[in-house]
Amino acid sequence: MSASNHLLHPLELVYEAAGVACPHATAIAAEMIPHPYRGLLAHKSDMTYALERHYGGPVAIRALSTALRHCWYQRRVLLVQEYSGRPVEMGAIRIRLDRFTAKVRKTVLAAKVPLGRIMRDAGLDYHSRPRAFFRVVPNSDMMGVFWMREPRPLYGRSTEVILDGEKFGDIVEVLPLV
């Protein structure tokens, strides 16, 4: 895996499994992220909460792909404004399901609710720890899910998710043009 792809972990795993070329990403400091992207990315709360606060309403999830291998669950999703369907984030997660109760596992596997909302609703002690921020040149897949006509730089973050003080997964989150 190249350094660029490491920034996109676990998204690069999803693209690799689908035979899709991974886009090129470049690490950047949080201070280099332009507004309003910086406010949406440079924090330690979950993206569901940040996006719902920014857009003034709930976001819905559209599962683009899912995979379950032993205790590891991986999915790529598109988060959209619930009332308009407008894309507000594409994300990929890889998490350990054995860290959850059967009820939470069932909700995660149903892929109908964003992970951040599931965690909050379950009252779990979790937080996000950004590993890196990046600028990415979208591939044709990203351009399609974000309704883009031409490739323009997008911004995102690579995050570790922590539950009860222990890492239980990785998330990569990419924002569309705002």
* pLDDT digit string, tens, across residues 68-96: 999 999 999 999 999 999 999 999 999 99
* pLDDT digit string, tens, across residues 32-52: 999 999 999 998 888 998 999
What residue segments make up the domains of the chain, in order of their start? Answer: 3-175
* pLDDT digit string, tens, across residues 111-122: 999 999 999 999
pLDDT at 5: 54
pLDDT at 46: 85
Q: Mean pLDDT throughout 7-30?
A: 93
pLDDT at 159: 94
Which three-class secondary structure state does DSSP give residue 68? strand
Peptide bond into 10 cis (omega under 30): yes
Which three-class secondary structure state does DSSP give residue 178? coil
Give Cα separations from 100 to 61, 92, 129, 164 (angstroms): 20, 19, 19, 11
Q: State the pLDDT confidence band at 3, using cuts at 50, 70 and 90.
A: very low
* Cα–Cα dist 18/22, whole Å: 10
> pTM for this structure?
0.93
Q: Name the β-bridge partners of 27.
A: 134
Name the nearest CA neighbour of 64 among 76, 51, 56: 76
Q: Rounded to the nearest 5°, which phi and psi values hold at 20?
A: -105, 135
Correct CATH for 3-175 of 3.30.230.10, 3.40.1410.10, 3.40.1160.10, 3.30.1340.10: 3.40.1410.10
